[in-house]
Amino acid sequence: MGNQHLLFVFRSSPYGSSRAREGLDALLAAAVFDQRVSALFMGDGVFQLCSEQCPIDRRNQHKMLLSLELYDVDQLYFSSSALASRDIAPTDIRLPGTALSDAEITNLLTTADQVLTF
């Protein structure tokens, strides 16, 4: 299988639907299949990055994201404007990643081989 750059875009809040969890499952599958994988969090998806999550009867999405380091995931990106409009300070994010402007996000989307949105 070719080693292509797959960009997973997370736009859903962590617990309003199963989308965030299922998207992460798909990302992990891609990592297992030896693809170059990055993740971009934008829109309500940035709520997945908040470290203080106390889900009831669900797995903690933030803790699952912390485990991505084990999977050789290339890079995590966060939308600066999504963080700002939801009053989340970039310093509150404990995950290693890069905050991007909207213009930088446009550039990222065009450079990926495939984009999968969750």
For residues 46 and 86, is the Cβ–Cβ distance under 8 A? Answer: yes
For residues 61 and 55, is the Cβ–Cβ distance under 8 A? Answer: yes
List the one residue out of 94, 99, 96 whose CA is nearest residue 82: 99
Question: Is residue 22 within the footprint of another protein (CB under 8 A)?
Answer: yes
Residues in contact with another protein, counted by CB under 8 A, come to a total of: 20
Q: How many Cβ atoms from other residues are within 10 Å of residue 48's Cβ?
A: 24
Here's the x/- map for another protein, 23-52, by CB under 8 A: it reads as --xx--xx--x-x-----------------
Least distance from another protein to the Cβ atom of residue 48, Å: 16
Under the rule (CB under 8 A), what is the footprint of another protein? Answer: 1-2, 4, 6, 17-19, 22, 25-26, 29-30, 33, 35, 113-118
